[in-house]
Structure 1
Amino acid sequence: MTDSAAVLFVPASAPAGESKSLAARYGVLCALLLVAAAIRLPLAFWPNINHNDEIYQYLEPAWRLLGHQGVVTWEWRDGIRSWFLPTLFAGPVALGDWLAPGGWGAFVAPRLLVSLASLSIVATAWHFGARISRAHAIVAALAAAVWFELVYFAPHTLSEPLTTALILPAALLLTGEPSRNRLFAGGALLGLAFVWRFQYAPACAVFVLGACWRDLRNAIALIAGGCAALAVAAGVDLANGSIPFAWLVLNIQQNLLHDRASEFGVAPPMAYIQLMSILWSGATLLMLMALRRGWQHAPLLIVAAIVNVAFHSMIAHKEYRFIFLSIPLLIIAAALGSADWVQLMRQRPGWRHWGLPVVCAGWVLLSLGLSGATYTMRHNWMLGTAEAKLATDLDVDPEFCGLALYGMHDPFLPGRGQLAIGRPVYSFYQDDPLVNGQLSALVQKHQREFNRIIAPASLAGELPPDFSKRTCALASHDINTCVFVRRGACDAFTTGPFGINDVLVRLND
């Protein structure tokens, strides 16, 4: 490691005139954490879903751990997912359902938990900056608190933001002059991060190498911490009746060797760079300028971010959330670089007291502008809200006794508004081998088993005449989707061959 690469890791004494009492110093940090919480926590109640995995890979498995029924996707049937995160979510899901029965509490409580977890990024940014100066600490923490991508992903129950909330503190612990205790704790956090999202291992390796580069003995405490975390993960697997880490072997086999993930779409290697430049829009050049200055303060953060993007760029199936770890790494490094401009402005007559407010205001205004500047972000903010509207329609419907999804491949609704829909859920989809071109006839045949249908408005003519349109919303892929209702009760409460889980098995989905 070069001397410049070690700059970030050497604790720096505050410049003259910047030493403050402990209470005053951390009072500002607490204020920034409160600001970040005030922005993030309300978003837990906003029914926005970035990806179905939030429900079907984490919350529904947590719901099933509590003894309830739920949708089972192919990942869980094939055993390629760890039970760690669903086990972690089971407590908040149970608490939320107890406080607000019917599903919404079980949906919101875990989102509040992950929103709070995201505050670790803000605290970490502060401490990285504090190694340089108080101004650097304030700018870095503020940027992490308000940056639109970090705010957007904060309430989503996905492995990427949760794992990032572990890796950033680990990076802080493993840099500077880490003690044995810090190395052990950092290794434990990286061990958990590996279990929660093993694809972040290459980026984590950057910090491991940074910690061991000058003293290989550091690896002993670091490895011990990692092994302790892996032992806990193995215990979780055993408690759920699984062979420890069998899911990891199967996941690599399915997604890396058999390329199963490519069935859900592929993108060229430069896709992440292109999307990042779109989301950052006109601020991209400014960010690059700040990162150039940030390199002298936080080279390993930038290297880890680049390694993470490069690794995921080699995988054909791409989703922006996959590289989420790189976003806070780059934002913190850029914020540290922009704080240098505060020092430069303080040297100019008339700007001595304006440098810090100007730079901080710049981060706030930039984030506010970019949060809705592009179609992509405006679309992201509204993802899932239409489905939530349809779910609410069912939730307040006292006559609802059975639901059929018609012409919809994605089982978004049963777990969307309420994790425990409490009624039979049927699925009628054209690609189902049992349909055999008779989709409309099958719905006619089974219509007495359900009295609500969710279907695209364009397929209304294929539904039984007893069903009439009630509530519509522009759902996923900008398809106008509606709830269709018929009067009367349901004759049966067995889903037969068209129960949603049976259909998913036949579709291998």
Structure 2
Amino acid sequence: MTTSAAALPAIAPSVKAESFATRYGALCALLLLATAVRLPLAFWPNIVHVDELYQYLEPAWRLLGHQGVVTWEWRDGIRSWFLPTLFAGPVALGDWLAPGGWGAFVVPRLVVGLASLSIVVTAWHFGERISRSHAVVAAFAAAVWFELVYYAPHTLSEPLATAVILPAAYLLTGELARHRLFIAGALLALACVWRFQYVPACAVFALTACWRDLRNAIALVAGGCVVLVLSGAIDLAHGSAPFAWLVQNVQQNLLHDRASEFGDAPAAAYVLQASILWSGATLLMLLAVWRGWRHAPLLIVAAVVNVAFHSMIVHKEYRFIFLSIALLIIAAALGSADWVQMMRGQNPWRSLAVVCGGWLLLSLGLSGATLIMRDNWMRGIGVAQLMAELEADPEFCGLALYGINYPFVPGRGQLAARRPIYSFYRDDPLAKGRLPAVVQTHQAGFNRIIGPASLASELPADFSPRSCAMMSDDKPACVFARRGACDALASPFGTNDVLVRLNY
């Protein structure tokens, strides 16, 4: 049963009779809550995936005239310059405010954290179509749910695309005026340029709007074309044919199956991982989603379509279905708000507090209940700790990465170092089988090494361990140091040279 304004007069008064402060005071309070939860996490140097640095911040760093890591995606031209171009401003501002890499890493994270607030605002407006209590519960859930909070500050295409898809979904499921259609078309096109794998989910909202009246497609397409022209212009500005990156991406990942080299998973992997993360609350969440179907069926349909599409792709990462998580959380929140009305015999404010408190307790409990989430919160912290030590080391003049999981620093280290970084990687054909000897030969170029503590015996004798930290593979790595300066000699073990040989 839908909660009506008459059922909860204290919570959902007549919109005509209330002031702006009365109507949006609760929303402003929830936005402050969401901001207080998200923005501090921009300073917490964990990472979801190395892509957030090497596909977005590193290219932005290079646009500003600095040297940086170039991964295979950029060498093969399968990435759009749209997001790195947008990130160039925050990266430059951050580097100006706090030189040395820290600011260039944090300020973009603050920006995307603020962008994620659109999810909270949209959840409020979806709920307001039903009642004030639905608006409060939906926005509160979007503000505190652990998955939405965890991904909020990370510079990845999935959270950013979701932040613009949700407002478009709201516009396309209400009154379809021309200006709303135009704005929605622009937002959907923007999301599809940033994360083209979200096209099927976006199509659910676009086709539904056009199904009502085919003339709606004119304004919708017009808005989309504005963004597509802008995206093509950015491609041209960077010396590439418009959308050539999209063609190359499809060729590499669908025709040549390149993505599967980085791991594959069964079709049910996303459903399984979601059930693990939601743990004992899975049944309750499904019940809330089922209840939310009457309020926002299109959100659930789009979420299912998005999961189904990504399930057909062999390489799977949970962040790929972030859009589906956000859609389902809003639908579940709208469904759970019905329970406020079911408790209408109690004080309505108390009932609302009970439902919101349930969302908060579930979120807090699940954010650390599973090993996956505990690992997620700490991923990249160890290497950030070691790189912070190097930043403060006045004698540091060159770094070698020895035998770690990646031939580059999986965190903010590359932006922070601004000194030569060399990679000695076991799979490198130039060093395979003789890694200790190669490091010994090239040690004049660096006076610091980051490598696993277990491999200390393979390092040159004049390197001694300093501090150590746990890496993402739950193995300790240490900074090893020698005295003396560095000779800036040409070396085939520069990070980009190694990446070319490994086709990384």
What is the TM-score when the length of structure 2 is the normalising length? Answer: 0.96
Bigger mean CA deviation after superposition, 494-503 or 459-468:
494-503
Whether 1:295 and 2:318 are equivalent positions in the alignment is no
Q: Which 5+ residue runs of structure 2 have no aligned equivalent? A: none
Q: Report the counterpart of residue 504 of structure 1 in structure 2.
A: 499
Asked whether the equivalents of residues 387 and 413 of structure 1 are also in contact (C-alpha less than 8 Å), the reply is yes
Consecutive aligned runs of 4 or more in structure 1 exceeding 6 Å deviation: none
One-letter code aligned to 1:59: L
One-letter code aligned to 1:116: L
Aligned-pair CA distance for 1:413: 2.0
Deviation string, structure 1 residues 220-258 (Cα, Å, up to 9, x no partner):
100111111101101111111111100000001001111
Deviation string, structure 1 residues 382-440 (Cα, Å, up to 9, x no partner):
00100100101111010011111111241442862351522111111122111142111
Q: Secondary structure at the match of 2:181?
A: helix
Aligned-pair CA distance for 1:280: 0.4
Number of aligned residue pairs: give it.
497
CA RMSD of aligned residues (A): 1.5
Whether 1:15 and 2:9 are equivalent positions in the alignment is no
Distance 1:228 1:331 in 2: 31
Distance 1:276 1:268 in 2: 14
Aligned-pair CA distance for 1:343: 0.9
Aligned-pair CA distance for 1:173: 1.0
Q: Report the counterpart of residue 29 of structure 1 in structure 2.
A: 27
Q: Report the counterpart of residue 137 of structure 2 in structure 1.
A: 139
Distance 2:180 2:453 in 1: 58
Q: Report the counterpart of residue 493 of structure 1 in structure 2.
A: 488
Q: Which 5+ residue runs of structure 1 have no aligned equivalent? A: none
Q: Report the counterpart of residue 403 of structure 1 in structure 2.
A: 399
Whether 1:117 and 2:115 are equivalent positions in the alignment is yes
CA shift in 2, pair 1:81/1:352, >3 Å: closer
Q: Report the counterpart of residue 352 of structure 2 in structure 1.
A: 356
One-letter code aligned to 1:508: N
Q: Report the counterpart of residue 479 of structure 2 in structure 1.
A: 483
Asked whether the equivalents of residues 171 and 180 of structure 2 are also in contact (C-alpha less than 8 Å), the reply is yes
Q: Report the counterpart of residue 185 of structure 2 in structure 1.
A: 187
CA shift in 2, pair 1:415/1:134, >3 Å: closer
Asked whether the equivalents of residues 405 and 454 of structure 1 are also in contact (C-alpha less than 8 Å), the reply is yes
Deviation string, structure 1 residues 426-472 (Cα, Å, up to 9, x no partner):
11112211114211111111111110111111111110000001111
CA shift in 2, pair 1:400/1:433, >3 Å: same
CA shift in 2, pair 1:409/1:281, >3 Å: closer
One-letter code aligned to 2:120: V
Distance 1:358 1:457 in 2: 50
Matches within 5 A, 1:461-480: 461-480=457-476
Q: Report the counterpart of residue 442 of structure 2 in structure 1.
A: 446
Identity %: 75
Q: Report the counterpart of residue 128 of structure 2 in structure 1.
A: 130
Distance 2:188 2:428 in 1: 42
CA shift in 2, pair 1:375/1:409, >3 Å: closer
What is the TM-score when the length of structure 1 is the normalising length? Answer: 0.95
Distance 1:465 1:235 in 2: 54
Matches within 5 A, 1:309-320: 309-320=307-318
Matches within 5 A, 1:58-207: 58-207=56-205
Distance 1:172 1:134 in 2: 17
Asked whether the equivalents of residues 383 and 410 of structure 2 are also in contact (C-alpha less than 8 Å), the reply is no
One-letter code aligned to 1:358: V
Distance 1:155 1:84 in 2: 19
